[in-house]
Structure 1
Amino acid sequence: MIPAGPAEEHRSIAGTFGERVRGVAADGWDAPTPVAEWEARDVVRHLVEWFPAFLADGSGLRLPAGPPVDDDPVAAWEQHAAAVQAVLDDPASAGITFAHPRLPAMPLPRAIAEFYTGDVFMHTWDLARATGQDDTLDAERCRVMVQGMEPLDEMLRQSGQYGARVPVADDAPWQDRLIGFIGRDPAWPRP
Structure 2
Amino acid sequence: MTQTTTPGIDHYLSLFQQRADRFTQVVDTVDVSGGDWDGPSPCEGWSARDVVGHVLQTQRDFLSTQGLDAGPPPDLADPAAAWRAQRAHVTAALEADGVAAREYDGYFGRTTIAATVADFYGWDLVVHGSDVARATGQEWSVSDAEAADLHATADGWGAALHSEGVCADAVEVGPDASVTDRLLARLGRDPGWQPGNG
> What is the alpha-carbon distance in structure 1 between the residues aligned to residue 164 and residue 110 of structure 2?
19
TM superposition score normalised by structure 1: 0.86
- Asked if the contact 1:6/1:88 (under 8 Å) is kept, the reply is no
- Asked if the contact 1:166/1:185 (under 8 Å) is kept, the reply is yes
2:56 equivalent to 1:87: no
> What is the alpha-carbon distance in structure 2 between the residues aligned to residue 165 and residue 21 of structure 1?
26
> What is the alpha-carbon distance in structure 1 between the residues aligned to residue 11 and residue 93 of structure 2?
13
Residues 104 and 127 of structure 1: is their aligned pair in 2 closer, same or farther, counting only changes over 3 Å? Answer: same
- Asked if the contact 1:165/1:181 (under 8 Å) is kept, the reply is yes
> What is the alpha-carbon distance in structure 2 between the residues aligned to residue 103 and residue 90 of structure 1?
25
Counterpart for residue 47 of structure 1: 55
Counterpart for residue 61 of structure 1: 68
> What is the alpha-carbon distance in structure 2 between the residues aligned to residue 170 and residue 143 of structure 1?
17
Counterpart for residue 33 of structure 1: 41
Question: Which of 115, 119, 128 lines up with 2:120 in the alignment?
Answer: 115
2:180 equivalent to 1:169: no
> What is the alpha-carbon distance in structure 1 between the residues aligned to residue 192 and residue 174 of structure 2?
12
Residues 160 and 75 of structure 1: is their aligned pair in 2 closer, same or farther, counting only changes over 3 Å? Answer: closer
List gaps (5 residues or longer) in structure 1.
none
Identity fraction in percent = 30
Counterpart for residue 84 of structure 2: 78
List gaps (5 residues or longer) in structure 2.
1-9
Report the number of matched residues. 185
Shift of 1:172: 2.9
Shift of 1:177: 1.7
- Asked if the contact 1:66/1:79 (under 8 Å) is kept, the reply is no
Residues 170 and 145 of structure 1: is their aligned pair in 2 closer, same or farther, counting only changes over 3 Å? Answer: farther
Residues 189 and 94 of structure 1: is their aligned pair in 2 closer, same or farther, counting only changes over 3 Å? Answer: closer
- Asked if the contact 1:143/1:175 (under 8 Å) is kept, the reply is no
- Asked if the contact 2:39/2:135 (under 8 Å) is kept, the reply is yes
- Asked if the contact 1:66/1:80 (under 8 Å) is kept, the reply is no
TM superposition score normalised by structure 2: 0.83
